[in-house]
Structure 1
Amino acid sequence: MFVWEGVSEFVAVAETESFTVAAKRLGISTAQVSRQVSALENRLSAKLLYRTTRRVSVTEAGQTYYQHCRQVLNGLEEAERTITQLQQSPRGSLRLTAPVTYGEKTIAPLVNDFILQYPELDVQLKLSNQTLDLVAEGFDLAVRLGKLKDSSLMARRLSSRTQYVCASPRYLSTYGVPHSLSELDQHNCLQGNLDYWRFQEQGRARNVRVKGNLRCDSGWGLLDAAVKGIGIVQLPDYYVRPALESGQLIALLAPFQEADEGIWAVYPHNRHLSPKVRMLLDHFSAALG
């Protein structure tokens, strides 16, 4: 049978490199920590720590023992958190951010449903198209679209989005239907914040520069312009799907359509993810997955 005496004390000393700091972490006396670690070393017949007047360091045997003990303690801590969480209802503050349009259309209604389930929560949802610093600004969670930049944040894929190039029947009857990427140069392409559109050609990503007589930083504005026959537009599915289904818009250049992009939840790297954040992630996954 595994004997626990001294294990927590040894792990605390190994992680803090100090008997005094380990004692404060555990809420016991330094002498008790020292006695427990010494007893553990005697029981194992192995020296786990080097002790000098200036510092404490872990021996080779101690490193091996520490790795195994840390895994066991992690499992116990996770089991205790799981049981505690089963008996708790999410409460307190919860701060998250999402892009404006996707947040208004999709995320905000899901957050509202979550609040109805857990009315003791105090939720702040900030809609912004800027990539906010979650740690510096105190956010628990962010919803982000497309390719993620390398960072120390944890990420969980919630869903995906599809980019469509489309135009109204009226525009196409007047100016013709483009069948290749090179033909876009002959068309009025409605632009957002970027002067290029993204495609996939022969299995490789390709950016194509476009030009037109309208540049607008609102997806809804671009959608309206496309429906009214002003030009061709490239927008995500959550903008154009109803217009495609009703026939107001027609999808173009399907062979060159970019692969679906991820819709992600990202959150600070934290092994002890709080119940409210974990439950909101599960709520989003169940609705969007």
Structure 2
Amino acid sequence: MDRWQAMRIFVKVAETESFAASARQLHMSAPAVTRAIAALEDVICARLFVRTTRSVRLTEPGRRYLHDCKRILADIVEAETAAAGSYAVPTGTLAITAPMLFGQMYVLPILHEFLKRYPTVNGRMLSMDRPVNLIDEGIDVAIRIGHLQDSSFSAIQVGTVRRVVCGSPAYFQEYGIPESPADLKNHRIAASTGAWASPEWRFAGDQRVTLPNWLQSNTNEAAIATAVAGLAVTRVLHYQIDPALRDGKLQIVLAAHEEPPLPIHVLYTEGRQASAKVRAFVDLAVSRLRGE
């Protein structure tokens, strides 16, 4: 019998001053209660009760031990209640990660909404254009773009995104619009090492083109700004240039040659045992991102 259970039995016997009454209330046999008290006395090397045919009374060490047992058992109940509460009501710190621009444009507004809805939760957001190790970084939820590697994490697909080649209307007016991926060899290329480090661009039908970079930067923003300035062509994810497309600052080319869209997933580590904060955020993120 574990120590915690033995303490519970000891406290009940002390309260009822009866082995038989304690056994009935604990739904145990009287011999089992007796054995538990005897084992506890052996462990602590002290006599806890003075037993007579008519009464069961605490010894002096028993009274001191009773005080300590009640405190310890109360601490255990409090700890269990707190732990259970974290799985019933969103509390604590929620750590999420997402690609930099996608996080700023789509995930951060969802996190703002979540934190307003659940004031007992604090947020931590890590925006990076590379996969983050969820366990090492202490991340609860990740938004991932691209095909997932096999893992024990839970994943919910919320959409897809195209990888597009684009440039400014002014650039294409000066240098012409490429009609095939091979035509890109005749154009200036601005590339981001953060997202697509390889100089080889792949297209539908297993078309592959290796392109020298006219300008290489470590952020997508710099590559996009170069394209908006009319200086080069770049390839990025569709959402990253959505504002520039709407404003007419960029236009997409080679759409007929694009590879299949990349999936977007909400990834989390705890599966069915996820805490309330994780379950609540995942539900909100899935709803909002699918709406987008």
TM-score by length of 2: 0.65
Q: Indicate yes or no: 2:250 matched with 1:249.
A: yes
- Give ranges in structure 1 of 5+ residues lacking alignment: 1-19, 36-83
Distance 1:119 1:248 in 2: 40
Counterpart of 1:169 in structure 2 is 169
Residue 217 in 1 paired to residue 221 in 2? no
Residues 205-237 of structure 1, C-alpha deviation per residue, up to 9 Å, x if partnerless?
A: 544322231001211111111111111111112
Residues 1:270 and 2:271 aligned together: yes
The C-alpha deviation readout for 1:228-248, integer Å capped at 9, x for no partner, is: 111111111222122222222
Tell me if structure 2 keeps the 8 A contact 1:192–1:216.
yes
Q: What is the DSSP-based 3-state SS (H/G/I as helix, E as strand, rest coil) of the residue aligned with 2:130?
A: coil
Which stretch shifts more, 114-123 or 89-98? Answer: 89-98
Q: 2:133 is matched with which residue?
A: 133
Counterpart amino acid of residue 265 in structure 2: W
1:36-75 to structure 2, matched below 5 A, reads none
C-alpha distance in 2, partners of 1:225/1:207?
Answer: 23
| Separation in structure 2 between the aligned mates of residue 180 and residue 277 of structure 1, nearest angstrom | 45
Contact 2:223 2:234 in 1 (8 A): yes
CA RMSD of aligned residues (A): 2.6
The 8 Å contact of residues 95 and 125 in structure 1, kept in 2 or not, is answered as yes
For 1:247 and 1:270, how far apart are their aligned partners in 2? Answer: 43
Matches within 5 A, 1:1-289: 88-193=88-193, 194=197, 195-201=199-205, 205-289=206-290
For the 8 Å contact 2:200–2:208, the answer to whether it is kept is yes
CA distance in 1, matches of 2:139, 2:156: 16
Helix, strand or coil at the partner of 1:170: helix
Whether contact under 8 Å (1:89, 1:118) holds in the other structure is: no
Which letter does structure 1 place at the counterpart of 2:106?
A: T
What SS does structure 2 have at the residue aligned with 1:190? strand
Using the alignment, how far apart are the partners of 1:111 and 1:274 within structure 2? 17
CA distance in 1, matches of 2:112, 2:183: 45
What is the one-letter code of the residue matched to 2:93?
S
Q: 2:90, 2:275 within 8 Å by CA — same for their partners in 1?
A: no
Count, aligned residues: 210
Q: Which has the larger radius of gyration?
A: 2
Change in Cα spacing, 1:250 to 1:138, as seen in structure 2 (3 Å) is closer
CA distance in 2, matches of 1:207, 1:146: 19
Displacement of 1:271 in angstroms is: 2.8
Q: Which moved more, 1:97-106 or 1:175-184?
A: 97-106
Per the alignment, do residues 163 and 89 of structure 1 end up closer, same or farther by CA in structure 2, a change over 3 Å counting?
same
Alignment check: 8 A CA contact 1:152 1:269 kept: no
* AA partner of residue 238 (structure 1): Y
* Identity level (%): 29
C-alpha distance in 2 between matches for 1:207 and 1:120: 51
Give the counterpart letter for 1:275 in structure 2: A
Provide the rounded CA distance (Å) in 1 between the counterparts of 2:125 and 2:218: 22
Q: Deviations over 1:81-101 (max 9, x none)?
A: xxx99x954112222222222
In the alignment, the residues of structure 1 paired with residue 137 and residue 289 of structure 2 have an alpha-carbon distance, to the nearest angstrom, of: 26
3-state SS of the aligned residue for 1:111?
helix
How far 1:262 moved relative to its partner? 1.3
**In the alignment, is the contact (CA less than 8 A) between 2:167 and 2:227 conserved in 1?**
yes
Could you say what secondary structure the match of 1:116 adopts? Answer: helix
Tell me, yes or no, if the aligned pair for 1:187 and 1:212 is still in contact at 8 Å: no
Q: Is the contact between residue 91 and residue 276 of structure 2 (CA under 8 Å) also seen in structure 1? A: no
TM-score normalised by length of structure 1: 0.66
